[in-house]
């Protein structure tokens, strides 16, 4: 006897009598989902656990070191590194939203996530993904002002303006993720509660619904076009102006110096957008396929993990700040632990 839970009713379909009965209920029966992850083969679980635990620890400690190095160096208290600190913080939160739950499920050999936990995970995933998107756009604008209007840089990018911009990014992301989560709460689900992913992704959740998901799909693609597309358009516009300005520089050394300040940001933008757009704009991927799950790892795990390396390896200021930070840590370490030798 097929059954479907819809809003406050359980709809029972009797094939022999061809009668549909609607039994009123006061609650929805959905209490949990199953996260299928990457593979159901037990022998691969320890390998998957080790790989993702390593990537998560590298992401957390790498971004945390960037934050501490910038915070401890007064020479880096400028808008460019203020935004980088925020990006590193968001990347830590971004990966923490998904990876610990996946690691817990592997460790306990369980695929279950509660309905409430799924909605909460989806909310924070959308929140930090949106913040990543907006901060990359803001950092592109920062580079545009620094290269195209260097004399007015500190006037335009003053601390008050930078603080307001970051606050607007947070508010916009919160409202966006809240709207999408409230729309997801209106969905009804049938018996198939298996999510072919390692976290509760909005797209996968909408595909599982047995109720009308038109508003959810409309909101999903509208926000992707307006917010994601708007941020990307801002990045492209900023870099088009940067390229035009750099072409006007006569010396090759001056051109190289101007473009070198954008190299790290361009690398991160390319990695983030190429992977995320490959997942969300690929209509060829079939429902239930693990291909989109594997592709999602690139922008949800790999990109946040690589960000500290990209910025530290290609940025002389960050390199100097890291050397100073580690030197201070080594010097202060024995003092704090009480092992400092007497002269």
Identify each DSSP E strand in 165-269 by its residue range.
194-195
Highest-pLDDT range among 62-76, 167-181, 225-239: 167-181
Burial of 259 (0-12, 13-18, 19+ CB in 10 A): middle
Distance CA 110, CA 196 (A): 14
Instruction: Dump the DSSP string for 301-326.
Output: IIHHHHHHHHHHHS-HHHHHHHHHHH
Q: How large a percentage of the chain has pLDDT more than 90?
A: 46
pLDDT at 282 over 60: no
Look at the alpha carbons of 54, 57, 59, 61 in this order and tell me if their dihedral is positive or negative.
negative
Structural domains in the chain plus CATH codes:
40-189+211-315 (1.20.1070.10)
Please indicate whether residue 317 or residue 56 has the higher confidence score (pLDDT).
56
Range 55-82 average pLDDT: 93
Range 288-294 average pLDDT: 63
* pTM (two decimals): 0.84
Question: 């290609």: which residue's tokens?
Answer: 314
Distance CA 67, CA 85 (A): 5
pLDDT at 181 over 80: yes
| Mean pLDDT over the full length of the chain | 83
Question: 């509760």: which residue's tokens?
Answer: 200
pLDDT at 25 over 60: no
Range 110-130 average pLDDT: 94
Q: How confident is the model at residue 291 (pLDDT cuts 50, 70, 90)?
A: low
- Residue 17: what pLDDT? 41
Distance CA 82, CA 77 (A): 7
* Size of the chain, expressed as the number of residues it contains: 343
- Residue 18: what pLDDT? 42
- Residue 91: what pLDDT? 95
Q: How confident is the model at residue 3 (pLDDT cuts 50, 70, 90)?
A: very low
Q: Which of 34-43, 169-178, 256-265, 334-343 has the lowest mean pLDDT?
A: 334-343
- Six-digit token string for 125: 């995933």
Is the distance from CB of 290 to CB of 63 less than 8 angstroms?
no
């Amino acid at each position: 006897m097929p059954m479907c839970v819809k809003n406050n009713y359980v709809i029972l379909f009797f094939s022999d009598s061809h009668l549909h009965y609607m039994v009123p209920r006061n609650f929805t029966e959905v209490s949990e989902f199953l996260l299928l992850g990457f593979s159901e083969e037990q022998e691969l679980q320890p390998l998957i656990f080790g790989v993702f635990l390593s990537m998560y620890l590298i992401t957390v400690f790498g971004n945390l070191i960037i934050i501490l190095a910038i915070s401890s160096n007064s020479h880096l208290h400028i808008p460019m590194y203020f935004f980088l600190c925020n990006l590193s913080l968001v990347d830590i939160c971004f990966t923490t939203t998904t990876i610990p739950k996946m690691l817990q499920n592997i460790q306990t050999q369980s695929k279950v996530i509660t309905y409430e936990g799924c909605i909460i995970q989806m909310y924070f995933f959308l929140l930090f993904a949106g913040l990543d998107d907006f901060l990359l756009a803001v950092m592109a604008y920062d580079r545009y002002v620094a290269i195209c209007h260097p004399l007015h840089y500190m006037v335009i990018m003053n601390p008050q303006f930078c603080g307001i911009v970051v606050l607007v990014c947070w508010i916009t992301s919160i409202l966006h993720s809240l709207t999408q989560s409230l729309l997801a709460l209106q969905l009804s689900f049938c018996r198939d509660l298996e999510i072919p992913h390692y976290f509760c992704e909005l797209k996968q959740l909408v595909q599982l619904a047995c109720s009308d998901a038109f508003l959810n799909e409309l909101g999903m693609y509208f926000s992707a076009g307006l917010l994601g597309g708007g941020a990307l358009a801002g990045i492209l516009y900023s870099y088009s102006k940067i390229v035009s300005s750099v072409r006007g520089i006569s010396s090759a050394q001056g051109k190289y110096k101007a473009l070198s300040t954008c190299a790290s940001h361009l690398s991160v933008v390319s990695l983030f957008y190429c992977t995320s757009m490959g997942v969300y704009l690929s209509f060829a991927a079939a429902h239930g396929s693990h291909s989109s799950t594997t592709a999602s790892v690139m922008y949800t795990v790999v990109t946040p993990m690589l960000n500290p390396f990209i910025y530290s390896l290609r940025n002389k200021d960050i390199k100097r700040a890291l050397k100073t930070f580690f030197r201070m840590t080594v010097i202060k370490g024995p003092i704090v632990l009480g092992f400092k030798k007497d002269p």
